[in-house]
Amino acid sequence: MFSFSSNRFAVDLGTARIRVSKSGRETIADEASVIVFQKGTSTVLLAGDEALAAVERTPRHAEVIFPVQEGIVADAEAAATLIEHLLKKNNKGRRPSKFELTLGIPTGLTRVERNAYLEAGARSGASKVELIETTLAAAAGLRLPPNDPKAHLICEIGAGQCQVALLSMGGVAQSRRTRGGGENWVDAIQSYVRSAHQLLIGAPTAISVKHVLANLAPPDETDPPSSLLVQGRDLITSIPRSLKLHSDELPSVILPQAEKIAQVIRQTLQGCSAELTGDLVDRGILLCGGGASLKGLTEWLAAYLNCPVHLTEDPELAVIRGLSHFMEKPANLPQTGD
Ligand SMILES: Nc1ncnc2c1ncn2[C@@H]1O[C@H](COP(=O)(O)OP(=O)(O)OP(=O)(O)O)[C@@H](O)[C@H]1O
Ligand SMILES: [Mg+2]
C-alpha cells in the first residue's frame, strides 16, 4: 500500500498518448506516447509531442520507438525513459527524488505482460508501483457509484485496443479486450486512399481525415458531403500530389472496425445474467477513450446494438482521472484479480 509522505504520480500509458497526473494536482502531462533515441544508444533525442512531430521525418541516426503497441507495453525500457522524461520536464528538469507510481494496465494481461509495467515503473525510478485495470479506473473517472448493485457497461476505445467491461458493485463481472482501436481506422483510411486514389498518405494525414471527415452518421439530405484536401505521394509517378477526399467515401472504410467494437460488446454481454443485461437497457453503454470520439459512432452503435449508448464527457481523460482518484484514496484500490 502507498505511503502518504512521498510524491505520487498516476500514469495512463497508452498506444497513442501518455497522461500523467500528480497527487493533489490535475493532469500535468498529456503527450504523444513516442520517443526518439540516437540509434543504438539510450540517448534521448526527442520525447512526447516533440517526438511525434519527427515521426516519418527522422534521419538515419535516429530511432523512433512507440513503447506501447496495441495497448500493451512492448518496450519496458523505452516506456520507463518516456515516463522519466515527462516527470523531469514537469519538475524543472530534475527527476523527483522519491516517488511512487499508479499505472493503468489493460484487462487480462499475462504475468509477463504485467511484469513489463512493473519493470517500466521501477526503471523510471519509482520506489513503489501499483497497477490498476484501466476499465476500473475509467469507472472511477466517470464517477460511477462504486457499490451500485446495478450494472454498468463501459467500452473504452483507445488507439491500439478496445476494452469492454461489465461492472457491478465496484467489481468486474465480465470483460473483454481486443487489439485494434482508433489506429485501425487510420490504417483503413491509408489503405483506402492507396487503392482507390493511388496515393500514399502518412499516418498524421490519415489521423486528420479520421478526426475531421470520417463520420458514421447517416448522411444528411440537406447537407452536401464535406471534403478535405490531403497531400501525399502518387503511387505511380512518385511525385507529390494533392487530393480532395469527400466524407461520403469513408463510411464503408470505417465500418468494419466499428462492427468489430460492436462484436466485442456483444461477446461481453453473452454470458451475463439477464438481470445484469437488463440494467443496461436503463443505463445504456458508456463510451470512453479517445477513439470513442469518432463522429457518429455513438449513434451507430446504439442503432446496431438496439440499446442506449452514451459518449461520456472528456472520454480520453476518464482513465487518468480514475487513476488519480485511486492514487489519492489508496484505501479504495480495487482488486485486479491476483
Ligand atoms: N475527434 C476524434 N475523432 C476520432 N478519433 C479521435 C478523436 N480524438 C481522438 N481520437 C483518437 O483517439 C485515440 C487516442 O485515444 P486514447 O488517448 O484513449 O488512446 P491511448 O490510451 O493512447 O490508446 P490505448 O488505450 O489503446 O493504448 C487516437 O487513435 C485518436 O486518433
Ligand atoms: Mg488508453
Tens of pLDDT, residue by residue over 290-309, are 999 999 999 999 999 999 99
174 close to ligand 1 (CB < 6 Angstrom)? no
Which residue has a Cα nearest atom 4 of ligand 1?
Answer: 294
Which residue has a Cα nearest atom 21 of ligand 1?
Answer: 14
| Rounded Cα gap, residues 321 and 325, in angstroms | 6
pLDDT of 5 above 70: no
* The residue to which cell 485511486 is assigned: 326
- Say what the pLDDT of residue 331 is: 61
Tens of pLDDT, residue by residue over 8-38, are 999 999 999 999 999 877 778 999 999 999 9
164 Cα to the center of ligand 2, angstroms: 12
Tens of pLDDT, residue by residue over 75-121, are 999 999 999 999 999 888 888 889 999 999 999 999 999 999 999 99
Q: What percent of the chain has pLDDT over 70?
A: 95
Which pTM was predicted?
Answer: 0.94
Q: State the alpha helices, DSSP H only, in the chain.
A: 49-54, 76-89, 111-123, 134-141, 182-197, 203-212, 251-269, 274-283, 297-305, 318-328
Q: What percent of the chain has pLDDT over 90?
A: 75
- Say what the pLDDT of residue 191 is: 98
In 3D space, the residue among 167, 168, 163 whose CA is nearest the CA of residue 180 turns out to be 163
- Rg of the chain in Å (alpha carbons): 21
Give the strand order in the sheet containing 17-22: 27-32, 17-22, 7-13, 99-105, 128-133
- Say what the pLDDT of residue 6 is: 59
Tens of pLDDT, residue by residue over 182-202, are 999 999 999 999 999 999 999
Averaged confidence pLDDT in the chain: 91
* Ligand with minimal distance to 296 CA: 1
The minimum-distance atom of ligand 1 relative to the CA of 16 is 22
Question: How much is the average pLDDT of 217-230?
Answer: 84
- Say what the pLDDT of residue 238 is: 95
1 Cα to the center of ligand 1, angstroms: 31
Structural domains of the chain sorted by starting position, each given as residue range(s) with its CATH number in brackets = 7-137+318-332 (3.30.420.40), 144-180+254-315 (3.30.420.40), 182-253 (3.90.640.10)
210 close to ligand 1 (CB < 6 Angstrom)? yes
328 Ramachandran zone, left/alpha/beta (phi>0; psi -120 to 50): alpha
Considering 148-152, 169-173, 263-267, 327-331, the range whose residues carry the highest mean pLDDT is 263-267
Report how far apart, in Å, the C-alpha atoms of 60 and of each of 55, 82, 112, 121, 164 are. Answer: 12, 21, 32, 30, 40
Q: Are strands 309-311 and 285-288 parallel, antiparallel or unpaired?
A: parallel
